[in-house]
Amino acid sequence: MNKKYHVKLSDIERTTIQKILDNETTSKYIRKRCNVLLHTDENAGKPPKQEEIAKRCGVSDVTVYSLVKEYDTQGMEYCLRRRKYATPPNPPIVTGEKEARIIALACGAAPHGRARWTVRLLAQKVIELGIMETVSHETIRTALKKHNLSLT
């Protein structure tokens, strides 16, 4: 069966990949991608199957396929760079005004009969006051931690 996409690294590309791998500051993400390219190189001999390469490099077989496709269509530089997104994949749950109201609530007086706020009490109060429709105590905790606030 003929493969649709091919990786045929030149000597210069192979040397570049080796330099990237030798660099101590290279991220794990880029290292894995470099290793996949080296394993799929057809100029170095018949490459193993994608499933085997995926297992050796610690990635999924879909990643191997995508990387081979990117190399063949976009080139090596495109394959070995991190993608920057204009907006994060998941928008933040707590934003400016809501965060300010949560912090003000946490810094205020504790509820009657309590010595201090807990994140669970804050979560209940945030819902009760209508600041947010639903919120977990973990979301409250991360919002407070972001501003170095502690409830103790």
pLDDT given for residue 45 in this prediction: 84
DSSP string spanning 66-119? HHHHHHHHH-HHHHTS----SS-SS--SS-HHHHHHHHHHHHSPPPTT-SS--H
What does the pLDDT look like over 32-61, one tens digit per residue?
A: 999 999 999 988 888 889 899 999 999 999
With a cut of 50, list the residues of the chain below it in pLDDT.
Answer: 1
pLDDT given for residue 87 in this prediction: 80
**Structure-token pair, residue 126:** 């945030």
β-bridge mates for residue 7, sequence order: 41
pLDDT given for residue 5 in this prediction: 86
pLDDT given for residue 2 in this prediction: 61
